[in-house]
Structure 1
Amino acid sequence: MGEYKPPFTITNKILSYISSISEKIGRITAISNLETKPHLRRNNRIKSIHSSLKIEANSLTLGQVRDVINGKSVLGEQKEIQEVKNAYIAYEHLEEIDPYNIQHLKQFHGIMTRYLVEESGEFRSGEEGVFNGSQCIFMAPPARFVPQLMDELFSWMKESKDDVHPLILSSVFHYEFVFIHPFSDGNGRMARLWHTAILSKWKPIFEYIPIESQIEKFQDEYYRSISECHIAGESTIFIEFMLSQIDKILDDISVQINEKNEYLPEAVQKLLEVMEYDIPYTSNELMERLGLKAKEGFRRNYLHPAMEMKLIQMTIPDKPNSRNQRYLRC
């Protein structure tokens, strides 16, 4: 078992992505502290949950997912609402995961699929395939082989974690996990959660980087790379795909965090930091979040400059003085 090694090749493209990602992570960490941006962290976590579930055909919108997480009533299928609640609990305990512990994997599958799957927290007893919608990508190994395959995968991870770069190791695990398909349901969600958990042990900032939203944007390519790896018999193509997506989303995070905003007036930066995306705010709500009393000063120093820079928009732009006016972060 200890001699098992998932087949993959470290290409120049992979090395180039590792260099680029490491440089971007270093720059983001140096110029920003996510601990001071709770709304950005929360927004990115909600994006992660929404995208990971959407890949699995959950139809709830980003706004509905946010409402479920905030404890509001949402009109939708109870199963989909429960999926959101379960995923939120799992992601909220992300830092507690030991990604090299197979019992933690089962425990978190139990959280992710609570009230939804009969074999919640246990490896499957039946046969399964990997599907992109109604299209079968490939059939997974027989259920009787799953415990041994998972033991071999986790043994390899534990033995290799100090020698194989986390960006490679997490991608290899992701592909091998999807290939084995160890659970009767929730395999895609668990693969993406575990990928994030592995990277978070390397760089904690990954806990709040919504890799899942990037995968969801390129969902067809995601499944195509899995299919191509299955044909090739190794995970190199999938590693390259995942590193390319991580590299891309770090550019978005750089813009979100600081590189776009470092030249902004301090008042505008403070306003953006208290606003979550996709949530409409009244001017009074924004003033309360900022701890401000003077409405004229708020409009002059915070609101109007942000709107002029097209960082905030009105929900009723043709009636700027409407009593129903709300403001959205762009």
Structure 2
Amino acid sequence: MSWKPKYLISDRLLLTIREIGESLGEIKSFRLSGQDLARLELEARELSTFASTSIEGNPLPLTDVKRLLKTQKNTVRETEREVLNYNKALQFLYGEVRSGQLRLTIKTLERVQGKVVDGLMDNPAHCGSLRRAPVLIRNPRRSDEIVFIPPDSKDVRKLLSDLLLFIENNIGKIDPVILAGIFHRQYVIIHPFIDGNGRTTRLMTTAILGKTGLDLFEVFSFENYYNRNVTRYFKEVGLQGDYYDLAEEIDFSAWLEYFAEGILDELRRVRKTLPERTADKPRLEAHHHQILDYIEAKGSITQREYGGFSTRSLAARKIDFDKLVKLNLVEVRGVGRGTYYVKKNGL
């Protein structure tokens, strides 16, 4: 029987996912230029690299991380290598997602983990290979206290395969936020490598958000949300006890609420940075983009067609078209009942 995670879609989760969609629509309404998007992506990558390595105990402040990523020093300390490795892996995954080449396989996970721990492990055999030994998760404040015993190494490959198959089979069927959240926690529970699990998890979660269809996945850093309260993050994502005693009862519901809230929090942060950058650009709402996207797909749109998928009143729909015409984004063709709208020439 194929693996199936246990979770409930609560009203709180539904509301957060809806607000994520609204926030994405609001950010897209600024019709950001390529330069704007590149700047946002750079800032998110810097923040993700800082936050994700900081979660694991890296002491470098954000200012030093930004400076390091710009200078790309040849001789680096271990803390700096950790930062450079994460940034390199993140850029690699961006490219894989954008090109449509990202494959959800164990080899991909091994490749990413190999990039994360490159030059940082005493035993090269642990770099880019699933663990072949048991591991214990200890209390970071009391090393003699065992918090969690992950699955045996002999079961890791099967557990990972089941997880990846679940994600792959449900792309387009389950919301990207839910899929990425399920991946994130189950991966942490499996703990498939000797080291680099947390960083690899967060990297692959970003990639899965992009692969499963979340727009603008490159411009926000959910790792930043976790880094602001690391204790809560570890509490929400982890388990306490022996995996085999807990496996049948693992519930992802509360974690998914927390995970979604982290994405929404970050999108709101990004949104707050936009007005001063785009104050000279026309403001478009989500319904305006629905019209433009429809024209892009179909070539034209009529009032009746717009009414077929919009819940806005007839008067509001007319105002929507008038605004797009005034902004020179669409033009009117035909007369009377034969009136329709097309993309403005040259756009």
The TM tier, using the shorter chain, reads 0.7 to 0.9
Does residue 220 of structure 1 match 2:231?
A: yes
Structure 1: gaps spanning 5 or more residues: 266-330
Alignment check: 8 A CA contact 1:50 1:62 kept: yes
Verify the 8 A CA contact 1:8 1:236 in the aligned structure 2.
yes
> AA paired with 2:198?
G
Q: Compared with structure 1, are the counterparts of its residues 125 and 39 closer, same or farther at alpha carbon in structure 2 (3 Å cutoff)?
A: same
Distance 2:34 2:240 in 1: 38
Query: 1:143-182 to 2 correspondence within 5 Å?
Result: 143-182=153-192
Alignment of 1:73-92 (within 5 A): 78-92=77-91
Q: Is the 8 A contact 1:129 1:139 kept in 2?
A: yes
1:94 aligns with 2:93: yes
Q: Name the SS for the 2:173 alignment partner.
A: coil
Aligned counterparts of 2:155 and 2:13: Cα–Cα separation in 1: 31
For 1:103, the equivalent position in structure 2 comes to 107
After TM superposition, give the deviation of residue 197 of structure 1 in Å: 0.7
Q: Over alpha carbons, which structure has the higher Rg?
A: 2
**Alignment: residue pair count:** 262
Task: Provide closer, same or farther for how the CA distance between residues 31 and 129 of structure 1 changes in structure 2, counting only shifts above 3 A.
Answer: farther
Asked if 1:126 is matched to 2:133, the reply is yes
Give the alignment's Cα RMSD to 1 decimal: 2.4
List per-residue Cα deviations over 1:189-238 (Å, max 9, x = no partner).
01111111111221341112111111101211111112469866211111
Q: Work out whether residues 8 and 235 of structure 1, in 8 Å CA contact, stay in contact via their aligned partners in 2.
A: yes
Query: Is 2:37 the counterpart of 1:33?
Result: no
> Is 132-141 or 188-197 further displaced after alignment?
132-141
1:17 match: 16
Aligned partners of 1:247, 1:115: CA distance in 2, in Å?
35
Give the partner amino acid of 1:108. V
Gaps of at least 5 residues in structure 2 are 282-347
Residue aligned with 2:29, SS: helix
How big is the shift at 1:36? 2.0
Q: Does 1:235 align with 2:257?
A: no
Same amino acid, percent of matched pairs: 26
Letter in 2 for 1:206: F
Distance 1:42 1:65 in 2: 12
CA contact (8 A) 1:124 1:182 kept: yes
Kindly indicate whether the alpha-carbon contact (under 8 Å) linking 1:34 and 1:41 is maintained by their aligned counterparts in 2.
no
Shift of 1:40: 3.2
Structure 1 ranges of 4+ moved more than 4 A: 72-76, 228-232, 260-265
Cα distance in 2 between the residues matched to 1:229 and 1:238: 14
Inter-partner Cα distance in structure 2 for 1:110 and 1:10: 35
CA offsets 1:304-326 (integer angstroms, 9 cap, x no match): xxxxxxxxxxxxxxxxxxxxxxx
Which structure carries more relative contact order (alpha carbon 8 Å, separation 6+)? 2
